[in-house]
Amino acid sequence: MTFEVMRPKYVGARVQRKEDPRLLSGSGRYAADVQPTRALHVAILRSDYAHALIRSINLDLARAMPGVIDVIDGEALASELKPLYATSRMPGYKPTALWPLARDRVRYVGEPVVAVVATDRYLAEDARAAIQIEYAALPAVTDANLSLTAQSDFLHPEHGSNLLVSRNFSRGNIEQAISEAFRVVSGQYRFTRTTPVAIEPRAYTAEWDRRLARLTLHSATQAPGIIRDALAEVLELNGPSIRVLAADVGGGFGGKVSLYPEEVIVCFLAQKLTRSVKYVSDRQEDLISTTQAFDQTVKAEMALDSSGRILGIRASILGDAGAYSIYPWTAALEPMQIAGFLPGPYQVPSYEADVQVVATNKTPSGPYRGVGRPGACFILERLIDKAAKEFGIDPLEFRRKNLVQPDQFPYKTGSGIVWDKSGFIECLDLAAEVIDYTTLKDNRDAAKAAGRWFGIGIASYAELTGLGSRMSAAPGMPINTGTESASVEIDATGSVIATFGTASIGQGLETTLAQIVADEIGVRPEDVTIVHGDSAAITHSTGSYASRSTVLAGGAAHKAGKEVREKLLKAAGFLMDCELLELEIEDGVVRQPATNKVLSFKDIGRAVYSEMGRFPLALRQELDLRATSFYDPEFGTTTSATHIATVDIDPETFEVRVLRYVAAEDCGRVINPQIVEGQVQGGVAQGIGVALMEEVIHDPQGQIFTASLVDYLVPSAAEVPSIEAVHLEAFAAGTIGGYRGMGEGGTIGAPAAVANAIADALSHLNIDITELPATPERLFRLVTTANQEKA
Amino acid sequence: MLNRRTITLNVNGEAHELEVEPRHLLADALREGLGLTGTHIGCEHGVCGACTILLDGESIRSCLLLAVQAEGHEITTVEGLGDSNHLNFLQQKFREHHALQCGFCTPGMLMTATELLNQRTSLTERDIRDALSGNLCRCTGYDHIIAAISEAIAETSGAGP
Ligand code: FES
Ligand code: FES
């Protein structure tokens, strides 16, 4: 069976989004919008110590406060439920027990300790203030290096050290490559801690159904299926007793794809109290308790031969996991992805990476848009630029020479990842053409000659998207991330309904999936009802992350849609008494062009389900208008891109302004150009935030300085330039439909492109950008030091 | 503390009576008290702009105002623009330009933009970017939002885009 839609009418078109009317009119339903009758409200008391033993907890005063229904601590929960562990098949990996409320010990500022339930949120917070806890402070470890060498006061004493993951990858002979190299460029890079900051803070409403004695959790999650399965496990419930719904989610970016303590807490309480229970985090809680991102120090060196070809890369990666190894992704996710993607889209014959991940007294870290790849791209692209400079080769030419060449696909990288054919060089050329690189260089030289700190930065990368079952989204993880299903049906009213397990977190999935189903079946996208974000609607699913939804769910939609179309034609053919090949379907009508006979889907639905007598008995047995298909792309597919940015640095204030930004991307077949453009622009804006302003800052005692949006800055419209996104659809991906995932790319390329542009702007001072964000303060120090060295 | 009082809020042309405590935020009163959940809360400290509403035609942050302070004023929330079957001119521009992804910042963006539109002056892209700098969007990268508002302003103020 082939999956080329004969005449795609909607795939590729700028179809207006189906989700927009409700979201534009304030009629969306985010988790905090759900208001079950007599719902109770939870306030969480969080640790204000980074590391301490809990000596005593006194809840008596709180219990006596007005409106308070219940107050629970870790011990109360421990007798009723099991802890969860994020397990992994990875050798030597150490999981950590995940309790929803701390027991005995707290390990980060913001860790939930007590939950108060009251009749409204204000009263719950009043009672929270009356809780008395006595802590015995322990030394906090907030530096990954110190955590690694610590001899005592381990976060998880049962492990006898703070080391959670230790792995080594190697391929080829890196020792030899380095000793025989003509040049070696190296650096120590620091990718500081950031946090996702979806504008919707995390929120969970557990709705108790008195009649059926079961729970519906309305969750701000990207992964309703993962959450349902985990909650069923922790609360020891069977599947139908708990349904996880994510109707509208206000952005995720990886921050809403793990199981959170509060999800367990509201469900536990709703069950215990047989009432609906709601928790909505405020921004401060979100900034200190949502999984944070990055936080790695990487030493890397690149060996080159005399012509400027890369011989090998060696890296040692130290990752700071924060306090726990989160479910289901584990502490290994981010640092291992850095190791996996560090060879990038280049020909790198020898490679070695050493990965260590330690626990520290900080908020647990987890996936963030791009996972590992923004850091890998930053480090690699800095090395590439440094090498190009050493060899006196233009950075664009240097990349062209070292990128995997069109005739080298499929190309197996040093870390074992295989790139299928993707437009590596083509994206480089396209970005250069769109930005007019040659003229731009002249302009830069003129600007620099006139004393301006103006620079150009290039970043090329490749990523694997739409991972199938043979490439887990996180190494050794016990959940299956490699398949998604689609169920498509035409009901008795002739309406088309397509059901998916993925969740829509803003990426327009309702629209793009409807476009695919519409083309396969022959209706308009507005006539396809998409059901998603509901664990009860499907047998198994995991959710939306890792740029997988369009590839996997889209592929399944093609398969199921095609099958339903065949069934529909069979029924129509019988009803119209003609050969199937003579029939055409368009906009919900089946037509026999020769005779101009028509049947609407409504007519066919009625006949199939309500007037079965019109079909012969044999046909009746098998005739329904629905199909469920699974799709597993096995390995996944390669998305590649080149970004080019220009920056201007103010020599007085050290403020960096990004002036132009071009992203040329090969994301396979484009389903909806406007949506793709929006994904790239949004991703780049986040990457600019990483490059210039976003940083979670802890003091040595583990207190977070960046617990408000005044202190943790995210880019506003005033700081983000207009972002030009151009697409290359040169090569069909091997996936069904030819799609490649593209939800994360913008964030992967931007930190590197901006960092390279800054280094270029300061090239007269020979400044290396080794640490992001490049805040005015950091740049001021770099420039001051460079000037002193010069003098 | 349980000092509750009954107030009247005029929201989207309708008067609503509700019982609040003096400390209740206007945003909470709109959402929890009146069920108008289109006004979103993204930070509760006046930075993100998701809770922006119009108070007597001027944009304000409903997380920074107490419900009792809003008595006697005309409040407009996103529910006071077009409904999902009848999007108003600005909402349509947002849709055409794909100016929203997750939609969480969108009500606040629309209210800020409504105020800009009502001023009926032509604005440059830079002006619009600055005017929107108090409304954070984490999804779109802003380009499409700026395009939607620019076009709406251009078409209503009679000036070119
Ligand atoms: S919620 Fe009011 S400004 Fe953020
Ligand atoms: S559309 Fe998601 S925050 Fe703006």
Question: The CATH number of the domain where B117 resides is what?
Answer: 1.10.150.120
Half-sphere exposure of A505 (CA within 13 A, CB side): 33
Statement: residue A543 has pLDDT above 70? no
**Amino acid occupying residue A332:** A
Q: Do the domains A34-138+214-251+256-273 and A20-28+483-631 match in fold?
A: no
CB contacts, 8 Å: A283 with chain B: 42-45, 47-48
Answer with the one of B53, B80, B107 that is the final residue of a domain: B80
Residue A776 CA to ligand 1 centre (angstroms): 27
User: In DSSP terms, which residues pair with A643 in a beta bridge?
Assistant: A459, A663
Q: Are A434 and A664 in contact (CB under 8 A)?
A: yes
Is B149 in the A-facing interface, judged by CB distances under 8 Å? Answer: no
Kindly state whether residues B60 and B114 are assigned to the same domain: no
Q: Are residues B142 and B94 in the same domain?
A: yes
Domain boundaries, position B22: 5-80
Whether B111 contacts chain A with CB within 8 A: no
Query: pLDDT, tens digit, for every residue of A341-386?
Result: 999 999 999 999 999 999 999 999 999 999 999 999 999 999 999 9
Could you tell me which CATH number the domain at A293-470+634-790 has? 3.30.365.10
Residue A769 has pLDDT above 80, yes or no: yes
Query: How many C-beta atoms surround the C-beta of residue A578 within 10 A?
Result: 15
What is the C-alpha to C-alpha distance for residues A217 and A246, in angstroms, rounded to an integer?
8
Of A16, A505, A714, the CB nearest to B136: A714
Residues B16 and B73 in one domain: yes
Instruction: Work out how many CB contacts closer than 8 A connect A with B.
Output: 196
- pLDDT tens digits, A450-486: 999 999 999 999 998 877 777 665 667 767 777 888 9
The pLDDT of residue A546 is 63
Select the residue of B38, B50, B98 nearest A17 (Cβ to Cβ). Answer: B98
Ligand closest in space to the Cα of B40: 1
Examine the domain organization and report whether B74 and B9 are in the same domain: yes
Comparing CB atoms, the residue among B1, B103, B138 nearest residue A248 is B103
Strands B74-76 and B52-55: antiparallel
Regarding whether B93 and B76 lie in a shared domain, the answer is no
The CATH number of residue B59's host domain is 3.10.20.30
User: Same structural domain for residues B51 and B106?
Assistant: no
Closest CA to A141 of A115, A163, A168: A163
Q: Domain A20-28+483-631: give its CATH architecture.
A: 2-Layer Sandwich (3.30)
Q: Nearest residue on chain A to B143, judged by CA atoms?
A: A722
Which pair of structure tokens corresponds to residue A567? 């069934």
For ligand 2, is residue A201 a contact (CB within 6 Å)? Answer: no
What does the alpha-carbon distance between residue A588 and residue A522 come to, in Å, rounded to a whole number?
6
B20/chain A closest Cα distance in angstroms: 11
Provide φ and ψ at A402, rounded to 5°: -95, -15
Q: What is the mean pLDDT of each run of 10 residues along chain B (161 residues)?
A: 86 97 97 97 97 98 97 97 97 98 98 95 94 97 98 79 39
* Subunit contact A20:B43, Cβ cutoff 8 A: no
Contacts of B47 in chain A (CB under 8 A): 283, 708-710
What pLDDT, on a 0 to 100 scale, did the predictor assign at position B15? 98
The answer to whether A637 and A653 have CB atoms below 8 angstroms apart is: no
Pick the last residue of a domain from B80, B105, B134. B80
Q: How far is CA B47 from CA A227, B133, B147, in A?
A: 31, 10, 23
pLDDT digits (tens, 9 = 90+) for A498-516: 999 888 888 899 999 999 9
Show residues of chain A in contact with B143, CB under 8 Å: 681, 720, 722-723
The phi-psi region of residue B98 (left if phi > 0; otherwise alpha if psi is between -120 and 50; otherwise beta) is left
* DSSP letters spanning A193-251: EE----SSPPEEEEEEETTTTEEEEEE--S-HHHHHHHHHHHTT--GGGEEEE-SS-S-
Check whether residue B60 and residue B107 sit in a common domain: no
Name the one residue in this structure whose structure tokens are 């280049």: A346
Residues B112 and B140 both lie in one domain: yes
pLDDT at position B161: 39
Same domain, B41 and B95: no
Using a CB-CB cut-off of 8 Å, the residues of chain B touching A251 are 101-102, 104, 138-139
Return the pLDDT at B2.
61
Q: Domain-by-domain residue ranges, chain A?
A: 20-28+483-631, 34-138+214-251+256-273, 293-470+634-790
Is B142 touching ligand 2 by the criterion CB < 6 Å? no
Give residue for tokens 């390279």: A756
Report yes or no: A64 at the B interface, CB cutoff 8 Å.
no
Q: Which pLDDT band, with edges at 50, 70 and 90, does A7 fall under?
A: low
Give all strands of the β-sheet with A589-592 in edge-to-edge order: A584-586, A589-592, A597-600
Statement: residue A333 has pLDDT above 80:
yes
The answer to whether residues B115 and B74 belong to one domain is no
Give, using CA atoms, the residue closest to atom 3 of ligand 2.
B137
**B29 and B66 belong to one structural domain:** yes
Q: Do A506 and B102 touch (CB under 8 A)?
A: yes
From the centroid of its chain, how far is CA B13?
15
Q: What number of CA atoms fall less than 13 Å from residue A440's CA on the CB side? A: 24
Query: For residue A68, how far is its CA from the centre of ligand 1 (angstroms)?
Result: 27
A28 touches chain B (CB under 8 A): yes
Residue A30, SS3 per DSSP: coil
In terms of CATH, what superfamily is A34-138+214-251+256-273?
Answer: Aldehyde oxidase/xanthine dehydrogenase, a/b hammerhead (3.90.1170.50)
| B74 and B10 within one domain | yes
Tokens standing for A6? 């004969």
For residue A241, pLDDT over 50 is answered with yes
| Structure confidence by residue, pLDDT tens digits, A591-647 | 998 888 999 999 999 999 999 889 988 888 888 899 999 888 877 889 999 999 999
Asked if B78 reaches chain A (Cβ–Cβ under 8 Å), the answer is yes
Tell whether the torsion through CA atoms of A473, A475, A479 and A485 is positive or negative: positive
Minimal C-alpha gap between B39 and chain A (Å) = 7
Which of the four pLDDT bands, split at 50, 70 and 90, describes residue A395? very high
The structural domain count of chain B equals 2
